[in-house]
Structure 1
């Protein structure tokens, strides 16, 4: 069942990205220039051959001038006060990568100041240089189950268990990996990038 959901998510992302690009009349080269994502990477994503990292999704969203969630579904372009979005248990757009399974929440609102999602951090042995990320914004992570290990470029690694949490400046190089035999689950909140260029690091 999980495999089918993952395949559906990836095909939906591929079709959505291709559609957004074609709506603008852009070539892969033009999209690459706007988003600072390599043309070869864009081609792989559109053909379902690559699962983009969160950093790449941020760059695509910035280049296309939309929220990350809008890469998966059409958002309600509803500005002004009094906005509200309710997400029922088990719903939310799924984005599956080799290291994480993100369930993007409240994706129907556009121009949000933060991106909430539930993430399953997969039990996975990683090389020292794998899984690192760096981008504009800030992140808050609350561990729901299992244990994770936070690595940053300025601090010693820290292990967090269910009930623990952390808040970081996302411009600092960082990664969150599993620290147990079973998958861990966290509530992840990431603020949207500010206008300056993202400090993207290819993973």
Structure 2
């Protein structure tokens, strides 16, 4: 996905999610701490969102920011889809704390978001910058020492080969505790497509008289 495609997809999904959540520009601005003017300009393709802005509005809408690039849709069952991301070909995004390598971007409307993340920070981000989004998440440590923070739990130290599976509607954050940056595989699973598919199937059943 090139930059123009990212901006267009993000702006469409931002407006769609805001309206589906019944939020005004002012309400989303308060929830995300992003100005009304900035949100409006992004929705109308007048301004490219910074990575931090993308993260803030995604957190406010309780979705994973990568999903906002792909647009809405149901899981496409019965299709034989496949994609390969070669070494060095992942789409890369950088925040103040992490570097994200996003894999399988050629497939839209998927229920899993595979990321390889480099954790650069040595102290926890401010609570307002912790991640929170729909679904569940699996994290596997590939390099270094990771300190995992989440609401309602004490911080946990994870070494190479350790993993953690958690409810990503809890605020969570990562910290590198080794000599260098930590590197993790993060797989985010959204349950919303399953709920939408079940609701969609239920609607069809009612229409069919089942």
In the superposition, the TM-score normalised over structure 1's length comes to 0.67
Structure 2, unmatched stretches of 5+, are 30-35, 196-210
How far has the Cα of 1:120 moved from its partner?
0.6
Q: Which has the larger radius of gyration?
A: 2
Whether contact under 8 Å (2:10, 2:68) holds in the other structure is: no
The verdict on how the C-alpha distance between 1:93 and 1:50 changes in structure 2, with shifts beyond 3 A counting, is: closer
Counterpart position of 2:165: 167
Counterpart position of 1:6: none
Question: Relative to structure 2, which stretch is displaced further, 113-122 or 40-49?
Answer: 40-49
Whether contact under 8 Å (2:149, 2:172) holds in the other structure is: yes
In the superposition, the TM-score normalised over structure 2's length comes to 0.65
Hey, which of these two has a bigger chunk of helix by percent? 2
The count of corresponding residues between Structure 1 and Structure 2 is 174
Q: Which runs of 4+ in 1 moved over 2 A?
A: 15-22, 28-62, 66-71, 77-81, 123-131
Counterpart position of 1:19: 8
The verdict on how the C-alpha distance between 1:112 and 1:155 changes in structure 2, with shifts beyond 3 A counting, is: same
Structure 1, unmatched stretches of 5+, are 1-8, 72-76, 197-203
CA RMSD of aligned residues (A): 3.7
- Give secondary structure in 2 for the equivalent of 1:151: strand
Question: Relative to structure 2, which stretch is displaced further, 98-107 or 126-135?
Answer: 126-135
How far has the Cα of 1:148 moved from its partner?
1.2
36, 39, 42: which one pairs with 2:39?
A: 42
**CA deviations over 1:175-203 (Å, ceiling 9, x no partner):** 2222234211100000125168xxxxxxx
**CA deviations over 1:73-110 (Å, ceiling 9, x no partner):** xxxx9763221111111111111111111111001111
